[in-house]
Structure 1
Amino acid sequence: MSPRPVILILIDGLTPSMLEGAIGSGDTPTLAALAAQGDYGRATSVFPSLTPVCLSSIATGAHGDVHEIPHLVWLERGENRIVEYGSSFQAVRAAGIGNTLRDSLVNMNAQHLGRRAVTIFESLADAGLRTAAVNFTAYRGRTRHQATVPFLGTISGPERFFFFNLFSSDRTGAPLSWRNRAAGSIDAYAAAVGRWLVARDAFDLLVFYLSDYDYASHAAGPDTALEVLRRCDDAVGTLAETAGGVDALLERYAVVVMADHGQTRVREAFTIADAYRGVDGILPLGSNRAAHVYLGPECRLDARGVAARLDGVPAAEVALFREGPDAVARRDGEELRFAPAIGGGFELTGDATILDHPDALTCTWAALGNPNAGDVLVSAAPGHEFTDLGGGHHVGGGSHGSLTRGDSEVPMLTVGLEGKPSSIVEVAPLVLSHFGVGTPDYALETAAA
């Protein structure tokens, strides 16, 4: 008997506490019905816990040392230019609107996503299975698609691919996605496409991405956007209704419901470049609750000196850098050195409480191993955020990206799959295993570690 197709439902920025509360209160009846028949728990994200990094990890089953997407904003060393995926409208203007659109919509998959990485869409297509995705930004696949706007050209994505009306492999009758985002038009577009796909059993894997919850939480703060979560529930309910109800949906499909990262409230913003005034040859790039600091050949400071400049800066909780074979985590002058141990785990020297965040050793070691990462990585302190290229921030609302639990813990619900991921990097291997498709070697290395 063939394995059931899989629907992977990804609600951007949804915190475990918000989902658990909404299920308990009856505000999200479809998600509650799925939870009643599934296996629920909390899982960890990656570092930085920012959407391009997280979605690349979900798509590839890897951390940034493999997929090579380091942040929302980063230095492309080979071209000596800043890549900005869309931190804010101010940041987009600072980086150049055309550059940002091209980088976020095309180059992230066509050029930036590491060649060693294999997406779930590529693995399943190579096994002869049908893949589909709605609005999912880490989309690299085996099927060529022509954009609806000429300057974006063609991309390689899943067999059936729908991306904010910019790419549409089929005519679905879905409404315009960007007509009123604050009112939920993007997720309404996703729901309409999802209905069309379920009605036709048009996939073996559908990645169904709902982004409006994160947008609302940035504005109002985490665990405040209940009305938007209800709309997410309605979008998932559309899939169930099309299948004939939740029971019928689960007879036909295995389901995963998850988030890519959480969010925490922001009280203060800090421009990380302020810590390096008067220092030549340094490029600090911050956005949300993480920053990368790049050192040029003319910089008089080494990575340790750059990290030390953040001692006593309230906005910076942990600064990370590589020193010889080790990684170093520094907080207010105290340090923890660590490196992978033979046989698994890590060898530690120093204050282990510096990295007492969820899965922090694995996440930070991998983040430092990303070839596009800065020389120093910075995780923001609770309540703080780093301004972006245009000075944008979310003070008074919510943000994410740091190692703290609220940013890096996500809900994870599986129904009809054998296993429950403890990290978002374990989702792709679980789905591939469900279909009897082998996982990339790096996923096996991660599991062994």
Structure 2
Amino acid sequence: MKGNRKHSFLLVLGLSLLIVSCKANHREELHLQSTATSSKPVIMILIDSLMDKPLREAIQKGSVPALQYLMAHGHYYPQMVSSFPTMSVTIDSTLLTGTYADQHHVPGLVWYSGKENRMIFYGNGPKETLKIDQPQVLVDAVYQLNHVQLNKQIKTIHEELAEKGKQSASINGLVFRGKTEHTLKVPPLLANTTSLPQQWKVTGPAMLSYAAFAQLDPANSKNAQLWDKYGMNNLFSAHDTAFLITQKKLPSVTIAYFPENDMAVHKKGVSQLKGIEKADQALQVVLNAYGSWDQAIKKAVWIVMGDSAQSAVLDDRQVATVDLRTLLNRYRIARLNQPVGTNEQIVISANERMAYIYVNDDKVPLSDVVKRLQNEGKLDLIAINDGKNVQVTAGKNNRTLTYRPGGEDKDEYGQTWTISGDPSLADITITNHRIKYGKYPDVLARLYGAMHSHEGRYVVVTIQPGYELVTESSPTHVGGGAHGSLHELDSLVPFLIVGTDTRPKTMRIVDVKDWIMQVVNE
């Protein structure tokens, strides 16, 4: 029995690194026929942490022939604005719903739910995994994320396509909610040695694939071994996508996630090219499924994009990391491995380069917490919601910016705001009521989204490039790369379109969903 518990623990630890585990009903997926007959199918390849500069360097080096070919035949936009926090689950939720976090309600990779009085983890590194309820991480990532926490009042692209009689596919995507029922089966060893159920009933797109636990191609198990992160890898995603092409089962929209570049950038830094080169090798598998690359771009609309960028973290741990517990040590701070009790005044949820700081003691004013945080000069933006406005300040800074939606000031995206105080805090200039953003793209809407993403009294804080925010057992990326913040270094990603001359109404991920719906209906 002791050996079984150890085996189960290792399995859960491995699966938690994948974020999610599931096994779909293959029979109902593989017999589906493509409905993309009136227009070309859309194939989106989402390369985690893809960035413009290393992509251009790889092209110049000649080591990414597939990406180079697509760029030569399409339209390339190097500065697509991500959502906030710049963490995958929030970005994916924005991509699939066309809304920011105030509407889709997925605040970050780590956050605290006042309704459930517990921390929500979708998988945030092995140190935290060792201290928390590991099966609950899988429940949150597989079921809760898609069917409880993602706002049911907001439709995903999979749901909207289904309502229009069109099919779609999600391959290794973290957010996949749709209209087709699937049975997600927990591996027997895991189900038998933990509190996890044997299966979940979920809804997803017509074709749902997720690593070793939900493959479309029966032969793809070779890419879903333990040493290949159970299928949470580029080649698994590529082969399942290629399978839909070769079997002529490609739906109207296919969203395939290539995860490995993110890990490479975290570890090796923002200048490394190996992650992009591996993504290109997988992309070649997909393009080759058409027989020739010329046929591939003739028969489909291709989108290749990043989700968030990363900024370099200094290689001196003491300098590069700011421990929020030290700044807030006058308060009673909740521990990671214990339930949040009535005595805990502060709960900290660190998302690499941003954090939510929850103030659960009504006797502690948010302004007092802000003052404590302002003692650290590395803190970039510090924000609270006063019930009517978002108030922003910064470390070692007594100036404030206050704003709310609606008003006379209009930004480049057509959004209007009422702004008072010092807009330069957020690198904003206003001339004749026209707002111009600087190093924090679309900062007003993105920050507003996070400030209204879920219940509770909390402070949102970000840190300057070069640094990371940490708390108990937070993962760090010293000498590598990290993201999470509003800064352009974390927020701007490349966006490549081949097969159509149209483009989203703005270069923001939040506007991609509506544009894809238009492309499908052309």
Q: Same fold (TM over 0.5)?
A: yes
Tell me which residue corresponds to 2:340. Answer: none
Tell me which residue corresponds to 1:158. Answer: 205
2:283 paired with 1:236: yes
> How much does 1:390 deviate?
2.1
Question: Within 1, Cα distance between the matches of 2:60 and 2:464?
Answer: 31
Q: Percent identity?
A: 27
2:418 paired with 1:350: no
Question: Within 1, Cα distance between the matches of 2:298 and 2:245?
Answer: 13
Task: Within 5 Å, give how 1:18-167 maps onto structure 2.
Answer: 18-41=54-77, 42-149=79-186, 151=197, 152-167=199-214
> Partner of 2:212: helix, strand, or coil?
coil
Question: Within 1, Cα distance between the matches of 2:163 and 2:253?
Answer: 13
> Partner of 1:292: helix, strand, or coil?
strand
The code of the aligned residue for 1:52 comes to V
Question: Within 1, Cα distance between the matches of 2:107 and 2:457?
Answer: 9
Which string of whole-angstrom CA distances, capped at 9 and with x for unpartnered residues, describes residues 225-261 of structure 1?
x122111111111111111222111111101111110
Moved more, 168-177 or 110-119: 168-177
2:293 paired with 1:249: no
Change (3 A) 1:287 1:252: same
Tell me which residue corresponds to 1:317. Answer: 380
Question: Within 2, Cα distance between the matches of 1:173 and 1:379?
Answer: 41
Question: Within 2, Cα distance between the matches of 1:36 and 1:345?
Answer: 37
Question: Within 2, Cα distance between the matches of 1:193 and 1:161?
Answer: 10
333, 354, 361: which one pairs with 2:398?
333
Change (3 A) 1:217 1:10: same
The code of the aligned residue for 1:419 comes to R
Change (3 A) 1:25 1:115: same
323, 332, 344: which one pairs with 1:271?
323
Change (3 A) 1:389 1:86: farther
Change (3 A) 1:174 1:88: same
Change (3 A) 1:388 1:257: farther
> Partner of 1:358: helix, strand, or coil?
coil
| Contact 2:287–2:293 under 8 Å retained in 1 | yes
Question: Within 2, Cα distance between the matches of 1:174 and 1:183?
Answer: 9
Task: Within 5 Å, give how 1:164-203 maps onto structure 2.
Answer: 164-168=211-215, 171-181=218-228, 186-202=233-249, 203=251
Question: Within 2, Cα distance between the matches of 1:154 and 1:99?
Answer: 17
Tell me which residue corresponds to 1:396. Answer: 479
| Contact 2:269–2:479 under 8 Å retained in 1 | yes
| Contact 2:239–2:286 under 8 Å retained in 1 | no
Question: Within 2, Cα distance between the matches of 1:221 and 1:183?
Answer: 25
> How much does 1:342 deviate?
3.5
| Contact 2:224–2:230 under 8 Å retained in 1 | no
The code of the aligned residue for 1:345 comes to T
Change (3 A) 1:354 1:293: same
Moved more, 406-415 or 168-177: 168-177
2:263 paired with 1:215: yes
Question: Within 2, Cα distance between the matches of 1:218 and 1:366?
Answer: 26
2:512 paired with 1:424: no
* Root mean square deviation of aligned Cα: 2.0
Change (3 A) 1:251 1:81: same
Which string of whole-angstrom CA distances, capped at 9 and with x for unpartnered residues, describes residues 297-325 of structure 1?
x3432222222211131442111111242
The code of the aligned residue for 2:182 comes to H
> Partner of 2:220: helix, strand, or coil?
coil
> Partner of 2:226: helix, strand, or coil?
coil
359, 372, 380: which one pairs with 1:295?
359
The code of the aligned residue for 1:427 comes to V
450, 453, 460: which one pairs with 1:367?
450
Tell me which residue corresponds to 1:286. Answer: 350
Which string of whole-angstrom CA distances, capped at 9 and with x for unpartnered residues, describes residues 370-411 of structure 1?
125762111111111122542321111111001111101110
Tell me which residue corresponds to 1:440. Answer: none
Moved more, 79-88 or 301-310: 301-310
> How much does 1:148 deviate?
3.6
> Partner of 1:193: helix, strand, or coil?
helix
> How much does 1:182 deviate?
8.2
| Contact 2:265–2:275 under 8 Å retained in 1 | no
Tell me which residue corresponds to 1:447. Answer: none
2:49 paired with 1:13: yes
For structure 2, the 5+ residue unaligned runs are 1-36, 188-196, 315-319, 333-344, 409-414, 428-439
| Contact 1:219–1:398 under 8 Å retained in 2 | yes
Count how many residue pairs are aligned between Structure 1 and Structure 2: 435
For structure 1, the 5+ residue unaligned runs are 438-449
| Contact 1:210–1:232 under 8 Å retained in 2 | yes
Moved more, 401-410 or 89-98: 89-98
The code of the aligned residue for 1:126 comes to E
Question: Within 2, Cα distance between the matches of 1:321 and 1:180?
Answer: 43
Question: Within 2, Cα distance between the matches of 1:39 and 1:66?
Answer: 30
Question: Within 2, Cα distance between the matches of 1:389 and 1:164?
Answer: 30
Question: Within 2, Cα distance between the matches of 1:314 and 1:384?
Answer: 11
| Contact 1:308–1:333 under 8 Å retained in 2 | no
| Contact 1:68–1:372 under 8 Å retained in 2 | no
Question: Within 2, Cα distance between the matches of 1:99 and 1:283?
Answer: 19
Normalising by structure 1, we get a TM-score of: 0.92
Question: Within 1, Cα distance between the matches of 2:372 and 2:253?
Answer: 47
> Partner of 1:3: helix, strand, or coil?
coil
| Contact 2:87–2:351 under 8 Å retained in 1 | no
Question: Within 1, Cα distance between the matches of 2:91 and 2:261?
Answer: 16
The code of the aligned residue for 1:422 comes to M
Question: Within 2, Cα distance between the matches of 1:229 and 1:367?
Answer: 30
Change (3 A) 1:17 1:372: farther
| Contact 1:182–1:216 under 8 Å retained in 2 | no
| Contact 1:110–1:140 under 8 Å retained in 2 | yes
| Contact 2:179–2:206 under 8 Å retained in 1 | yes
